[in-house]
Amino acid sequence: MKGTRNSQSLATACVAMVGIALMSLSGCAASQTMISKRNLDVQTKMSETVFLDPVGPDKKVIYVEVRNTSDKDNFDIETPIRDAVAKRGYRVTQNPDEAYYRLQANVLSVAKTDPTAAQQALAGGYGGPLMAALGGAAAGASIGGLAGGTYATAGIGAGAGALVLGGAELVTGALVKDVLFMVVTDVQVVEKAAEGVIVRQDNQQNLKQGIGGSQQQTSSEVTKYKKYRTRVVSTANKANLDYEEAAPALTQGLTRSLAGLF
């Protein structure tokens, strides 16, 4: 009996030591994240490059239309974009018919996510799927995951070990999070064709009809406008980042990217 009690005490002590060690490692990971992610990192990337032919001052007239279909109704980029293109020498008009260029954008999503989902959203291009990006399963993941294992020695002291490890994960996870916000914007640039140029536009759309059914719709027309489409993905990353801090930087990056098309 004495030998059994000694074995149990030794096993419990070992589990406690492992828990303390992992708590230390978890704390180190949290500290490392706070140091490496202490500064806000903002990146803006475009899925495809759009080249527009240079025009004279008389043709530098643009119509800007930005829609926001995300759940962040306070994410406003239309006014900053209008100001930015105006500074580049363009006259912003409210009449799309008199404009030589039209810049149309739709903010699809403003949400927490992870780097993999951001890459997938960019690779999908204009109109691409957003399921992974909107899922964001790893968004704001706790750095305390280092303490996420389970330990037991022949069933002895497992409860104590789980309590220690769980406490370490809870503390570090509550204090330090690696947070990434992403904005996904689909962009269409419309350019008036030069005199004498005929542009033919063919459209094809598959319409779903109930479960398993679909209907194909096609149309063709002659137009005087050329269209270019691309997607812009903007990300902001920092430890313990909140939306209020991320939004201005994301707005600035997205504005610079879209105005840079002209």
Per-residue pLDDT tens over the stretch 60-92: 999 999 999 999 988 989 999 999 999 999 999
Quote the Cα angle for 50-192-70, to 5°. Answer: 55
Crossing angle for the helix pair 158-175 and 2-36, to the nearest 10 degrees: 10
Residue 64 to residue 44: CA distance in whole angstroms: 20
- pLDDT-derived band of residue 154, with 50, 70 and 90 as boundaries? very low
> Tell me, what's the pLDDT at 89?
95
Q: Residue 215: how many CA atoms within 13 Å on its side-chain side? A: 4
Q: Please report, for residues 95, 153, 197, the alpha-carbon distance to residue 14 in angstroms, rounded to integers and kept in the order given.
A: 76, 9, 81
Residue 26 to residue 94: CA distance in whole angstroms: 56
- pTM for the model stands at 0.69
Check whether 146 has a pLDDT greater than 50. no
> Tell me, what's the pLDDT at 143?
35
Mean pLDDT of the chain: 78
Residue 178 CB burial class (10 angstroms; 0-12, 13-18, ≥19):
buried
Strand 225-239: give its sheet, edge to edge.
41-46, 225-239, 178-192, 101-113, 61-68, 91-92
Provide the token pair at 42: 């903002």
Check whether 142 has a pLDDT greater than 50. no
Residue 73 to residue 210: CA distance in whole angstroms: 32
Residue 124 to residue 130: CA distance in whole angstroms: 8
Higher pLDDT pick, 36 / 145: 36
Residue 171 to residue 19: CA distance in whole angstroms: 14
